[in-house]
Amino acid sequence: MYPTSPLRHLATSHQEQNLDNKLIMITGANAGIGKVAALELAKQGHHIVMVCRSQERGRAAQAEIKAASGSEQVDLLIADLSVQADIHQLAAEFKQRYDRLDVLVNNAGAIFDKRQKTADGLELTFALNHMGYFLLTDLLLDTLKASAPARIINVSSDAHRRGSLNFDDLQHEKSYSAFPVYSASKLANVLFTYELTRRLEGSGVTANALHPGFVNTNFGSTMSGIPAFFIGIISRLFATSPEKGAETIIYLAASPEVEGVTGNYFVEKKATRSAPESYDEAVAKRLWEVSEQLVR
Ligand SMILES: NC(=O)c1ccc[n+]([C@@H]2O[C@H](COP(=O)([O-])OP(=O)(O)OC[C@H]3O[C@@H](n4cnc5c(N)ncnc54)[C@H](OP(=O)(O)O)[C@@H]3O)[C@@H](O)[C@H]2O)c1
């Protein structure tokens, strides 16, 4: 047995500690669980590409993450992920700057109390929470495949269990209520993940969805009135910390335990059964095809 080289003890920088240095893109990385995941993965020595919609909030979070992790490999790209032109621009800029992508974390999401229409004519919750994941993944798929083994992680929610997809009114023009619309978008995240898994078979790229738990973040700040008041109180009383909420993202992004593991819904780092409707392959295929048609 060789004695431990004294040089090994001198190798203290995060990059040197981590031989498996991944390039990880995280959307919604300036706040909540996305920010904690970015920080912890930077601490592990991974190269982080934060995607944020506000230059100001993005830069502030980037500076904080660099200082707290001691890593300079924390980059920032700006995009409003509810706007398809921004997503195209983001993917193009990413491909100009980087030649690989090991992990894509689709995390940016929100709930809205009033129906709003995006520049692409889509309902905002559907556009951000589902189409944002769908289009960004689609545009980066060639890079992910070329970087295999690679991982796609879609942050969903247990709210998907109360969701259902109405293909006759996917844009919620006939009726709109914040929680059902949000739940439907989170069901779409799970259906999209499973369909993606089927389409990625044999590519070396895995796809998994997750529920982060009920987490005390800025989530719900887009609501107003009585629902916002209750979300605030319930969060303060019962929700877990963003550090706890980010654990499953960090695990799926970097743990060797889940290398090659695909097509699962994770809660507290364990593969768990998702809602029965999420396993409906016909619904998943239809959602994929409709989403393709909605891409400009
Ligand atoms: N908190 C919970 O209890 C909970 C439970 C289940 C699932 N989730 C899911 O967890 C994910 C993260 O939520 P969170 O709790 O961390 O909430 P959060 O603190 O509100 O963070 C959301 C992040 O998404 C970004 N974002 C929102 N709209 C965007 C847009 N149009 N374009 C680009 N980025 C945008 C936000 O940026 P700004 O700072 O600029 O707004 C922020 O960085 C979401 O997908 C949510 O559905 C949360």
Which atom in ligand 1 lies closest to the alpha carbon of residue 216? 1
pLDDT, mean over the chain: 92
- Rounded distance between C-alpha atoms, residue 39 and residue 250, angstroms: 10
Instruction: Look up residue 153 and give its two tokens.
Output: 């992680």
Residue 7 in any domain: the answer is: no
113, 93, 82: which is closest to 49 by C-alpha? 93
Strands 270-272 and 265-267: what pairing? Answer: antiparallel
Residue to probe by mutation, ligand 1, list 215, 237, 247, most atoms within 8 Å of CB: 215
Task: Tell me how many degrees the CA angle 101-104-110 measures, rounded to the nearest 5.
Answer: 150
Q: Of the listed 182, 194, 251, 265, which one is catalytic? A: 182
Decide if 146 is inside a domain: yes
* Number of other residues whose CB lies within 10 A of the CB of residue 246: 28
Instruction: Give me ligand 1 centre to Cα 147, in Å.
Output: 27
pLDDT bracket for residue 9 (50, 70, 90)? very low
Tell me whether residue 1 is in a domain.
no
Q: What is the pLDDT of residue 4?
A: 31
pLDDT per residue over 185-243, tens digit each?
999 999 999 999 999 999 999 999 999 999 999 888 888 887 777 777 887 788 999 99
Is there a domain that residue 50 lies in? Answer: yes
Distance (angstroms) between ligand 1 centre and the Cα of 12 equals: 34
| Ligand 1 surroundings by CB, under 6 angstroms | 28, 30-34, 52-54, 57, 80-82, 107-110, 128, 155, 157, 211-212, 214-215, 217-219
The residue contributing the CA closest to ligand 1 atom 46 is 109
- Tell me whether residue 89 is in a domain: yes
CA distance 82 to 159: 20
Tokens read off for 170: 């996917």
* pLDDT of 3 over the 70 cut: no
* Identity of the highest mean pLDDT range in 2-6, 8-12, 251-255: 251-255
Q: How many domains does the chain have?
A: 1
In angstroms, what CA-CA distances link 12 with 15, 200, 211? 8, 38, 34
Give domain status of residue 176, yes or no: yes
- To the nearest 10 degrees (0 to 180), the angle between helices 84-97 and 132-146 is 20
* 8 Å CB contact between 94 and 139: no
Is 265 contained in some domain? yes
Cα maximum dimension of the chain: 72
pLDDT per position as a tens digit, 57-104: 999 999 999 999 999 999 999 999 999 999 999 999 999 999 999 999
Evaluate if residue 295 carries a pLDDT over 70. yes
By the 8 A CB rule, do 157 and 211 touch? Answer: yes
Please tell me the distance from the alpha carbon of residue 28 to that of residue 106, in angstroms, as a whole number: 8
Q: Distance, CA 104 to ligand 1 centroid (Å)?
A: 16
- Domain boundaries, position 262: 19-294
- pLDDT value for 235: 79
Of 214, 226, 209, nearest in space to 263 by CA: 209
- Region of 268 on the Ramachandran plot (φ > 0 left; ψ -120 to 50 alpha; else beta): left
Q: Which residues pair with 208 in a beta bridge?
A: 153
CATH code where residue 107 lies: 3.40.50.720
Q: Within a domain: residue 86?
A: yes
Q: Look at residue 226 in the predicted model and tell me its pLDDT.
A: 78
Q: Over pLDDT 70: what percentage of the chain?
A: 93
C-alpha to C-alpha distances, 59 to 70, 118, 132, 268, nearest whole angstrom: 16, 25, 22, 30
